[in-house]
Structure 1
Amino acid sequence: MSSHVAPGDQVTSGLDRRTELREFLRSRRARLRPQDVGLPSHGRRRVPGLRREELAQLAGMSYAYYARLEQGYGDTMSAEVLDAVARVLRLNEEERDHLVRLAQPDRHSTTQAAPPPQGLRPSIQRLLDALGVPAYVVSRRMDILGWNRLAAAVFGDWGQLPPEERNVARLIFLSPEMRGRFADPDRTALKLAGVLRINAGKSPGDAYLSSLIQELSQKSEEFRQFWARHEVSCGSIGDSVRMRHPLVGEFDLVHEPMALPGGAPMRLITFHAEPGSRSEEALRMLASWEMEPLR
């Protein structure tokens, strides 16, 4: 599958589950070579990767049965069948869970479409303010619902933006200033596209999330290319990200996301530096400088 999506192409309002499942499986077949899974290679192929019949053979099922899965009819298939497909395709845990949700949405859908939350409980904002590390809270569609002073020092003062523009994915793909805060913005952007992909798979009928995907697909060539790769990511716990700050230069932060209980799905995102590191010193310097009130 080509990774290019033309600017005029449309992202549907709501995830088309069968299309997503078909394209996800095709993208994962395309990244494997026959020799990767112990099959002989017979020269050049018309399309890269494993053929459907080869995958079916390795997974211990008929070609027709596997073809039904790629057509979106996985509802009646057992967990063992999906596990066999995941094993052959060498899916990681996040990818395997994504496959199961797409194949059997009635059994594994975890969230329903709902209006995005408009703000935080005061107690959550007080928690953010009390933390000694950069931290913010996002909704399922990556809207920034609250943050603390150190997050503003590291990422920029989101309080200066209109509320509708306070969205992590939107800023990474559409704001040069926000991208400039990351030493490797492409890596960050790819991970964010993967987070949106997983969230869309959990709630395929969420029109609010789909509207963001639609906007990014229309305005960002990079997003179109990353979205077409069908990467999935939960925003892995313990990931390190290198920041680039105009005052303290480059430093590394460790990313720790955690779900907040109650109400609409929200995640608290915290960042910390390794103790005793230059990065910890950079954070300490940022925290010590007097800042204007955020709001």
Structure 2
Amino acid sequence: MTDTRSPAARRDLGDFLRTRRERLSPEQVGLPPTARRRTPGLRREEVAVLAGVGVTWYTWLEQGRPINVSTQVLVAVGRALKLNDAEKRHLQLLAGVRMPSAEPAESDPALSDTFQPVLDKLDPYPACLQTPLYDVVAYNRAYRFLFTDMDRIPPGERNCAMQFFTDPDWRSRYVDDDIVAARMVARMRAVVGADVEESKASTLINDLRERSEEFAQLWNRHDILLHHYEIKRLNSPLMGLLRLNFVSTNVEGTGNRMIVMTPMDEVTSERLTRLAALTTPTDGGSAGADPDLS
């Protein structure tokens, strides 16, 4: 089978393999320690031996040359580099062996209308519908006031990654912001895959690279992380510290995910209830609600 991937995609695969190789020591893979090395991690020839492939072939693979690869060989390379499940999946994606959709989902008004009643019923728990690249498609009232007043952000700019890496006020809501930054970029890497420059994701990724040096550095690390259950600490502008369980569920057939944030302690539960009372419109339709968060 002819390798039809673009040069950019092949370079991305080579960069990913190099970063995974450089994080390993000979001792970690069962090789005897050697004299002082000029570069970190394993040598290319060591990876080739561990994977049972030719040194020249592996070197060309890292150099981004147009060579063909099979699933069987990728499995061997992944095993040699001690890749986790998310990284193995990403390796196959970059190599073009298995290509699940990596495009951000299109905004569908009908989808938003369908899920809005579901999200509203989850109040006082913050909940939203998101694309894989953090575009917020729909949200309930609790989520609206979690970081700022989301209604004041133009729909085309409601992207959590863009807000996080370019708006200090938004970022300040996260207590553990450095951890969040690394995980967010690693999840974006997992869904974008190969040919990012030719994908619909390219505008967002390239914009983030230009506007945030931190994002660019994290992107170049090639870390991969699939979305998973986690706990986050947020400083609400209205309620103070919140400890929240982030639960993410994929919405079948849409490429989107629904995120629900539930309290992990009684204090957070009480504060979410107070937040709901504070931001609920009165019978006359005015909001004692809609507090000024500017």
Normalized against structure 1, the TM-score is what?
A: 0.84
Aligned equivalent of 2:176, options 172, 184, 189: 184
In the TM superposition, what is the alpha-carbon distance from 1:198 to its structure 2 partner?
Answer: 1.5
Structure ID, larger Rg: 2
Deviations 1:50-96 (A, max 9, x none): 11101111122221232243244697433332222212212111111
Q: Map 1:6-85 onto structure 2 (within 5 A).
A: 16-72=8-64, 76-85=68-77
1:211 Cα deviation (Å)?
A: 0.4
CA contact (8 A) 2:112 2:137 kept: no
The one of 265, 278, 293 aligned to 1:289: 278
Question: Relative contact order (C-alpha < 8 Å, sep 6+): which is higher?
Answer: 1
Query: What is the match of residue 152 of structure 1?
Result: 144
Q: Confirm or deny: 8 A CA contact 1:192 1:235 kept in the other structure.
A: no
> Does 1:280 pair with 2:274?
no
User: What amino acid maps onto 1:161 in structure 2?
Assistant: I
CA pair 15-93 structure 1, distance change in 2 beyond 3 A: farther
Residue 250 (1) aligns with residue 241 (2) = yes
Q: CA deviation at 1:28?
A: 0.5
Q: Does the C-alpha gap of structure 1 residues 203 and 140 become closer, same or farther in structure 2, counting only changes over 3 Å?
A: farther
Equivalent residues of 2:102, 2:191 under 8 A apart? no
What secondary structure, in the 3-state scheme, does the structure 1 residue paired with 2:146 have?
Answer: helix
Secondary structure of 2:134's aligned partner: coil
Residue 97 of structure 1: CA displacement?
0.3
The answer to whether the aligner puts 1:98 opposite 2:87 as a matched pair is: no
What amino acid does structure 1 have at the position aligned with 2:86?
A: E
Identity %: 36
Alignment counterpart, residue 252 of structure 2, candidates 261, 282, 285: 261
Counterpart of 1:137 in 2: which secondary structure? strand
Q: Contact 1:59 / 1:84 at 8 angstroms: preserved in 2?
A: yes
Aligned to 1:109: 99
Q: Which residue of 1 aligns with 2:129?
A: 137
Contact 2:8 2:195 in 1 (8 A): no
Secondary structure of 1:50's aligned partner: coil
Q: For 1:206 and 1:115, how far apart are their aligned partners in 2?
A: 16
Aligned partners of 1:116 and 1:208 also within 8 Å? no
CA distance in 2, matches of 1:15, 1:149: 45
| Cα drift, residue 184 of structure 1 | 1.1
Normalised by the size of structure 2, how large is the TM-score?
Answer: 0.85
Deviation at 1:254, TM superposition (A): 1.4
Would the alpha carbon gap of residues 206 and 125 (structure 1) be closer, same or farther in structure 2, given more than 3 Å must change?
A: farther
Stretches of structure 1 that go unaligned for 5 or more consecutive residues are: 1-13
Q: Which runs of 5+ in 2 are unaligned?
A: 1-5, 281-286
* 1:251-273 Cα distance to aligned partner (Å, 9 max, x none): 2211122221335x222122112
CA distance in 2, matches of 1:196, 1:211: 13
Aligned-pair distance for 1:173?
A: 0.3
Secondary structure of 1:154's counterpart equals coil
CA distance 1:15–1:136, change in 2 (3 Å): farther
Change (3 A) 1:277 1:69: farther
The verdict on how the C-alpha distance between 1:73 and 1:131 changes in structure 2, with shifts beyond 3 A counting, is farther
Shift of 1:24: 0.5
User: AA paired with 1:123?
Assistant: T
Residue correspondences, number: 276
Contact between 2:7 and 2:64, CA under 8 Å: does it hold in 1? Answer: no
Post-superposition shift, 1:143?
1.4
Is the counterpart of residue 168 in structure 1 residue 168 in structure 2?
no
Of residues 192, 210, 221, the one that matches 2:202 is 210
Letter paired with 2:260: T
Q: 1 CA distance for matches of 2:112 and 2:260?
A: 18
CA contact (8 A) 2:104 2:131 kept: no
How far is 1:49 from its partner?
0.4
Residue 194 (structure 1) shift: 1.3
Letter in 2 for 1:283: L
The CA distance in 2 between the partners of 1:51 and 1:226, in whole Å, is 23
Q: 1:162 to 1:198 in 2, by over 3 A?
A: same
Q: Does 1:271 align with 2:261?
A: yes
Following the alignment from structure 2 to structure 1, what is the Cα–Cα distance between the partners of residues 206 and 231?
29
